[in-house]
């Protein structure tokens, strides 16, 4: 490993990770440090109260006298008053500190969300990326582990150190063997915890993969969108069979991890037994040789509290070491350059010309090429229909021309500029793309159309909705454009049918008004006649712009300037509708079959 890479790796070790966490804490919430200092003083002193209480109480009883009861009650009252005050202060500070820690963790969660939404799209479709980074992505997802867990253990650590230091000073009069036994027990416990973590950490990818599979089946059994297919096709038994197999796989892995943890824990149990025998033996021996009962009870409470404090300290250190690895992975992911950037902006004011120049492409991790030596041009202002069978790479073509994926070999040029020279954000601004898989956001209808732009033109929003046939429906809502979609965020939210969702997506594409328009089978949920109307209306509204229409159905082809037919060998036929019909090739066959089908349907409807 070279020096640069080694230094880079050191940034994500436990100590640098803790420094980064504390630096961010001071920046995000400077008031946390004074709170932690106050908590440290109170929590560091609090355990000593229970240590001194037995000595005071038994000492009063040993002295005897007529006022023993009064002195004992007074001592108990003072103890309760002091302990109650310190305990209340501790709990109040604990509550405030942990709430503030949660807030900082949520800020990290926002960073992770921004990272995953901004990274290059090739990572989004890479299952290996999600498995590799599962724990890193989850480091900000809960209160007990990850970033918030580290913050919570870090703020408790100074108080524990203060307690241990004070108790060690108090225990100096006892046998040094007691301290050696305590230290040995804590070290063995820390070693066992660390070994167990390393064993689990080495299998994190295996655990993440098994969890991902189970999550899929959990979603399948709980998502209502699967309900119809499960019932109609009796998929329940097969789903439960697969679900059970994946659960069994994760259970076997969990058993293996638990068995390893159990065997390691036996070492801690053995040292605990030996430590207790040694402590009680020494204290009993010293009591038999003159130590007062009150001192015996105090030292017993002291050693018991010290052992608990040292074990907690060991567990805290081990926790920080263990979770520090995952948080380090998380910081590495945050710092990693997963998005394209730093390139000079390229000004594009005209509509687009796209040139595919000897392009090869296969998806990352796959040996199968979707395209080999693909050459063709989408000319400026041209309306191009892309048709073909399933698996011919039609949607892949869109991913390449929009920069979601990069060619394996060859070049793609946009108005003469290599697509790799564009900043991705600038590249995405060039396209109004409407995809088959429609994602409606839990936003207002306005924000769904505008993409949440700060300044929205309501007149243009309504024009876009009118153009796709949704204007009247939206006007019918009491809140109009402010009507929230879905019920996830707003219980009064609404939802659209599949066809209406696709129309909403098309309205979004219209409103963006980008230099080039791409429609990737966005009308699959519409009937053929409605599809033809949408395409014709859309075509009229994007006059002068380069437009690409992808569809299995050929309703879009007749009003397009050129047609490109793809099959699994690549670009098979290219030309105008008239040219391809005259050639009587694959396009002719598809168009004839579909035209006959639509004609028969229309005749049946007329009857």
User: pLDDT (tens digit, 9 = 90+) per residue, 496-515?
Assistant: 887 888 889 888 988 988 89
* 317 in the same domain as 387: no
Answer yes or no: is pLDDT of 150 > 60: yes
The pLDDT value given to residue 607: 42
Integer Cα distance of 203 and 200 in angstroms: 5
- Which own/partner pairs from 476-479 qualify as long-range (CB within 8 Å, at least 24 positions apart)? 477/445, 479/444
* 390 in the same domain as 308: no
Q: Are 120 and 339 in contact (CB under 8 A)?
A: yes
Answer yes or no: is pLDDT of 572 > 70: yes
User: pLDDT (tens digit, 9 = 90+) per residue, 180-237?
Assistant: 877 888 788 878 888 887 888 788 778 878 888 888 888 787 776 677 677 766 778 8
The pLDDT value given to residue 569: 82
* 387 in the same domain as 321: no
Between helix 293-335 and helix 68-118 the angle, nearest 10°, is 10
What is the pTM assigned to this prediction? 0.73
Per-position DSSP letters for 89-104, written without gaps between them: HHHHHHHHHHHHHHHH
Q: Angle at the Cα of 210 (from 122 to 136), degrees rounded to 5?
A: 55
In a domain, 411, yes or no: no
* Run of H or E including 593: helix 586-606
Integer Cα distance of 277 and 468 in angstroms: 82
Radius of gyration of the chain (CA): 35
- Measured in whole angstroms, the distance separating CA 30 from the mean position of its chain's CA atoms is 28
Integer Cα distance of 413 and 353 in angstroms: 8
Integer Cα distance of 153 and 323 in angstroms: 11
In a domain, 353, yes or no: no
The pLDDT value given to residue 596: 66
Higher pLDDT, residue 59 or 493: 493
Q: Please tell me the total count of domains within the chain.
A: 2
Beta strands 354-361 and 431-435 are unpaired
The pLDDT value given to residue 228: 64
Integer Cα distance of 273 and 271 in angstroms: 5
* 251 in the same domain as 388: no
Cα-based distances in Å from 106 to 142, 232, 425: 9, 42, 26
Q: Are 305 and 52 in contact (CB under 8 A)?
A: no
- Measured in whole angstroms, the distance separating CA 253 from the mean position of its chain's CA atoms is 23
* 206 in the same domain as 119: yes
* Residue with the two structure tokens 């402010």: 482
Q: Are 244 and 217 in contact (CB under 8 A)?
A: no
What DSSP character marks residue 553? S
Integer Cα distance of 468 and 511 in angstroms: 11
**Which range is least confidently modeled, 188-197, 238-247, 554-563?**
554-563
Sorting pLDDT into bands at 50, 70 and 90, what band is 597?
low
Higher pLDDT, residue 201 or 1: 201
Sorting pLDDT into bands at 50, 70 and 90, what band is 19?
very high
* 387 in the same domain as 280: no
Q: Average pLDDT for residues 450-474, to the nearest whole number?
A: 88
Q: Residue 54, SS3?
A: helix
Q: Which residues contact 529 (CB under 8 A, 6 or more apart)?
A: none
Higher pLDDT, residue 475 or 234: 475
In a domain, 540, yes or no: yes
* 390 in the same domain as 325: no
The pLDDT value given to residue 294: 77
Higher pLDDT, residue 205 or 524: 205
* 272 in the same domain as 389: no
The pLDDT value given to residue 66: 62
Q: Which two tokens stand for residue 423?
A: 């900043």
* 138 in the same domain as 233: yes
The pLDDT value given to residue 311: 82
Residue 330: how many other CB atoms lie within 10 Å: 26
What DSSP character marks residue 483? P
Task: Rounding to the nearest 10 degrees, give the CA dihedral for residues 518, 523, 528, 530.
Answer: -100
In a domain, 466, yes or no: no
* 158 in the same domain as 88: yes
Integer Cα distance of 130 and 123 in angstroms: 8
Instruction: Report percent pLDDT > 70 for the chain.
Output: 90
**Domain range holding 538?**
383-394+435-440+496-606
Sorting pLDDT into bands at 50, 70 and 90, what band is 602?
very low
Between helix 68-118 and helix 146-170 the angle, nearest 10°, is 150
User: pLDDT (tens digit, 9 = 90+) per residue, 56-96?
Assistant: 777 777 676 667 778 788 888 888 898 899 999 999 999 99
The pLDDT value given to residue 70: 81
Q: Are 93 and 38 in contact (CB under 8 A)?
A: yes
Buried b (16+ CB within 10 A) or exposed e, 551-574: bebbbbbebbebbbbbeeebbebb
Q: Are 230 and 242 in contact (CB under 8 A)?
A: no
Beta strands 354-361 and 409-414 are antiparallel
In a domain, 449, yes or no: no
* Average pLDDT in the chain: 83
**Which range is least confidently modeled, 135-149, 262-276, 293-307, 533-547?**
533-547
Answer yes or no: is pLDDT of 8 > 70: no
Cα-based distances in Å from 19 to 22, 25, 30, 281: 5, 10, 15, 44
Task: Rounding to the nearest 10 degrees, give the CA dihedral for residues 173, 178, 184, 189.
Answer: -110
| Cα diameter, the chain | 122
Q: Are 389 and 567 in contact (CB under 8 A)?
A: yes
In a domain, 389, yes or no: yes
Answer yes or no: is pLDDT of 247 > 80: yes
What DSSP character marks residue 554? G
The pLDDT value given to residue 538: 67
CATH number of the domain that residue 85 is part of: 1.20.1560.10
Integer Cα distance of 138 and 141 in angstroms: 5
Q: Angle at the Cα of 245 (from 124 to 197), degrees rounded to 5?
A: 65
CATH number of the domain that residue 511 is part of: 3.40.50.300
Positive or negative CA dihedral for 537, 540, 546, 551?
positive
Q: Which residues contact 448 (CB under 8 A, 6 or more apart)?
A: 440, 441, 485, 504, 508
Q: Are 347 and 422 in contact (CB under 8 A)?
A: no
User: pLDDT (tens digit, 9 = 90+) per residue, 429-440?
Assistant: 899 888 877 888
* Beta strands in 244-363, from DSSP E residues, in sequence order: 354-361
Q: Residue 522, SS3?
A: coil
Domain finish residue from 299, 320, 335: 335
In a domain, 347, yes or no: no
Sorting pLDDT into bands at 50, 70 and 90, what band is 606?
very low
Sorting pLDDT into bands at 50, 70 and 90, what band is 551?
confident
Answer yes or no: is pLDDT of 403 > 80: yes
In a domain, 387, yes or no: yes
Q: Angle at the Cα of 565 (from 534 to 599), degrees rounded to 5?
A: 50
* 387 in the same domain as 294: no
Q: Residue 555, SS3?
A: helix
* Residue with the two structure tokens 């008239």: 578
Beta strands 516-520 and 546-550 are parallel
Q: Which residues contact 396 (CB under 8 A, 6 or more apart)?
A: 361, 370, 371, 405
Sorting pLDDT into bands at 50, 70 and 90, what band is 149?
very high
* 197 in the same domain as 127: yes
**Residue (of 92, 63, 78) closest to 292 by Cα position:** 63
- Measured in whole angstroms, the distance separating CA 328 from the mean position of its chain's CA atoms is 16
Answer yes or no: is pLDDT of 356 > 60: yes
Q: Average pLDDT for residues 556-577, to the nearest whole number?
A: 86
């Amino acid at each position: 490993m070279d020096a640069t890479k080694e230094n880079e790796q050191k940034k994500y070790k436990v100590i640098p990770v803790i420094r980064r966490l504390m630096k961010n804490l001071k920046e995000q919430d400077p008031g946390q440090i004074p709170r932690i200092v106050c908590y440290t003083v109170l929590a560091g002193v609090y355990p000593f109260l229970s240590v001194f209480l037995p000595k005071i109480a038994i000492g009063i009883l040993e002295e005897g006298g007529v006022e023993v009861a009064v002195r004992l009650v007074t001592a108990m009252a003072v103890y309760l008053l002091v302990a109650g005050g310190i305990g209340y202060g501790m709990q109040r500070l604990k509550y405030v500190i942990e709430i503030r820690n949660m807030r900082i963790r949520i800020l990290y969660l926002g960073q992770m969300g921004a990272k995953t939404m901004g990274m290059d799209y090739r990572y989004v479709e890479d299952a290996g990326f999600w498995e590799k980074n599962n724990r890193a992505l989850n480091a900000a997802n809960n209160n007990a582990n990850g970033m918030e867990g580290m913050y919570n253990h870090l703020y408790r650590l100074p108080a524990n150190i203060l307690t241990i230091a004070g108790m060690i000073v108090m225990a100096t009069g006892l046998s040094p063997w007691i301290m050696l036994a305590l230290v040995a027990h804590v070290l063995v416990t820390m070693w066992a915890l660390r070994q167990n973590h390393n064993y689990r950490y080495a299998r994190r990818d295996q655990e993440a993969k098994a969890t991902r599979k189970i999550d899929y089946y959990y979603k399948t059994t709980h998502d209502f969108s699967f309900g119809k297919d499960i019932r109609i096709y009796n998929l329940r038994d097969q789903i439960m069979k697969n679900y059970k197999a994946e659960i069994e796989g994760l259970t076997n892995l969990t058993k293996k991890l638990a068995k390893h943890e159990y065997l390691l824990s036996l070492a801690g149990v053995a040292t605990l037994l030996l430590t207790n025998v040694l402590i009680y033996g020494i204290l009993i021996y010293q009591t038999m040789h003159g130590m007062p009962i009150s001192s015996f009870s105090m030292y017993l409470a002291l050693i018991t509290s010290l052992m608990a404090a040292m074990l907690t300290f060991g567990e805290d250190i081990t926790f920080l070491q263990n979770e520090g690895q995952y948080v380090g992975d998380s910081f590495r992911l945050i710092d990693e350059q997963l998005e394209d950037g730093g390139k000079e902006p390229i000004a594009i004011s005209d509509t687009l010309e796209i040139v595919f120049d000897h392009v090869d492409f296969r998806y990352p991790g796959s040996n199968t090429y979707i395209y080999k030596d693909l050459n063709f041009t989408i000319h400026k202002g041209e309306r191009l229909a892309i048709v073909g069978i399933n698996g011919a790479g039609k949607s892949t073509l869109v991913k390449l021309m929009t920069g979601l994926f990069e060619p394996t070999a060859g070049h793609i040029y946009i108005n003469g500029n290599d697509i790799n020279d564009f900043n991705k954000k600038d590249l995405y601004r060039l396209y109004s793309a409407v995809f088959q898989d429609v994602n409606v956001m839990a936003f207002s209808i306005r924000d769904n159309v505008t993409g949440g732009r700060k300044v929205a033109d309501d007149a243009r929003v309504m024009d876009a909705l009118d153009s796709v046939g949704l204007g009247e429906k939206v006007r019918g809502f009491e809140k109009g454009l402010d009507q929230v979609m879905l019920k996830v965020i707003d219980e009064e939210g609404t939802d659209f049918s599949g066809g209406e969702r696709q129309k909403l997506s098309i309205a979004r594409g219209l409103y963006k008004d980008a230099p080039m328009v791409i429609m990737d089978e966005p009308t699959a949920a519409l009937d053929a006649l409605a599809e033809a109307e949408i395409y014709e209306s859309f075509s009229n509204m994007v006059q002068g712009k380069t437009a690409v229409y992808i569809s299995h159905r050929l309703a879009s082809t007749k009003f397009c300037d050129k047609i490109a037919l793809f099959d699994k060998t690549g670009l098979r036929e290219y030309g105008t509708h008239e040219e391809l019909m005259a050639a009587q090739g694959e396009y002719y066959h598809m168009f004839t079959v579909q035209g006959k089908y639509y004609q028969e349907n229309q005749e049946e409807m007329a009857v």
